[in-house]
Chains A and B, each alone.
Chain A
Amino acid sequence: MDYTQLEAYQAYVEQFAEELITKLYYGFPSADTVRVHEGVKGKKVLTEVIVGDNIVKRWRKEFDGTADVDFVPRVLDVNPLKVETSITPQEIESNYLGFIRQTGQSPEDYPIQAFILDKVIQKAHEEIEQAVWGGEAGAVAALDNAIAVFDGFLHLIDDAITATDVTPTVTGANTPANIVGNVESVFDSLGDAEKVSPTIAFVAPQNFINYNRNYRNDYGKYTNPQNMREKLDFADCTLVGLPGMTGSDKIIITSQENLHVGIDTPSDHNAFRMQQNHRTIDFWMDFKLGVQIAQLRDGIIAVNDQ
């Protein structure tokens, strides 16, 4: 069997283009917990509408409604990125055959082309996830990785703390002995309107695990985490552990609709491109990605001091 036949890969991509694109752009862990916008060509303005106090007043004939509504534009900016990799199918052959036998799958149902593209997509997910949270534009000028191309959610929040738009709650470092209390302290700093709405508490996976240990130890109860998600017992809030937050001790609580990811792709058949280079196959794809938080101010979003 000649696994290096480029036509087989191209045929696979053409046949499953829609599934592959959906998997790539909606498959990274945070995609389930944030609002994803597709087709953002350059900038998308997420206008925050802040309605002032006392808009319901005693009736009188004069109109007195000026400056009661403030529109604060926040721009979701997408940045050009690329995925490039070279694969030598013969090197992967034994790994693929082992996988097929182990799982009892038929090579017709899961061809080596799918196996290889799945590996590429998995790696792209890891890096997109890291950039979405930990990205810092120009942090290292010489770095070409996605993490140095645009500001991720953590950096946007740090900027908002510096600008005093968001006030962090002092919790200190999270440990398996204090994290339940820390999550509750951060939640308490949300505004009442957010407290009664469905919210998400974003933490790093280790903090998610520590929360469950802390809960078990303090209350003698087992929690029921599934897919790094679980409902908290005191409000309509879901604790979510996301790999993109690894390395951060931040607890971020806000509504799912507040965190936005923008994506733009070339037309479907151009999304995945490839070229044979002797025994290797070069894969590449171009797309645009960026993140923004629509409402970045006290009451709407709550964070701790880490």
Chain B
Amino acid sequence: MAEKKDVTNERLDALEKIMAEQEETIESLKAENAKLSEQVGATATPKKKAKPKPPEKTFTVSGDKYRFQVVQFRYQGAIVKAVDALDDKELLKTLVDNNSAVITQVK
């Protein structure tokens, strides 16, 4: 009986040893996985920048209401931000007179 108990204890020790080794392997694999995930993060395509939106504020020319459809446009060789153009009444009137598609009439 005592002999049988010793054999069982020996087997138990061996199993515990194997389990400990496997735990170690799991831990090292986890660490490697975390390291690889970090590397993937660094080389992955960066997230797309948020799409800028045209200003929601409307403006009025000759009694009609309009708003911008683009964030920026090129006028007489220079790039003009739509938000800045909202303050330039002369430019707004020119855009309306020219049927420019950077603006749209709001009904």
Contacts and interface: CB of A to CB of B under 8 A. Distances in A.
A29 to B, nearest CB: 25
Interface residues of A, number: 16
B72 A167 contact: yes
B73 A167 contact: yes
Contact of B71 (A164, A169, A188, A189): A164
B95 A189 contact: no
Nearest to B48: A163
A112 B51 CA distance: 55
A168 B71 CA distance: 10
Interface in A161-192: 161-164, 167-173, 188-189
A170 B98 contact: yes
A286 interface: no
**A interface, over-half SS:** loop
Interface in B11-36: none
Contacts of A189: 74, 77
B72 A170 contact: no
A158 to B, nearest CB: 10
A168 B74 CA distance: 6
A88 B25 CA distance: 75
Nearest to B99: A173
A197 interface: no
Given A162-B51, A163-B51, A164-B71, A188 B98 contact: no
Interface string B39-64: 00000000000011000000000000
B69 to A, nearest CB: 9
B102 A164 contact: no
B100 A167 contact: no
A282 interface: no
B72 A164 contact: yes
A249 B98 CA distance: 13
A172 B98 contact: yes
CB-based closest 5 A-B pairs: A172-B98, A169-B74, A173-B99, A305-B102, A170-B75
B101 interface: yes
B70 A162 contact: yes
A145 interface: no
B79 interface: yes
A172 B74 contact: no
27 contacts: A162-B70, A162-B71, A164-B52, A164-B72, A167-B72, A167-B73, A167-B79, A168-B74, A168-B101, A169-B73, A169-B74, A170-B73, A170-B74, A170-B100, A170-B102, A171-B98, A171-B100, A172-B95, A172-B99, A172-B100, A189-B74, A189-B77, A249-B101, A305-B70, A305-B101, A305-B102, A306-B101
Interface in B64-86: 70-75, 77, 79
Contacts of A170: 73-75, 95, 98, 100, 102
Contacts of A167: 72-74, 79
Contacts of B99: 172-173
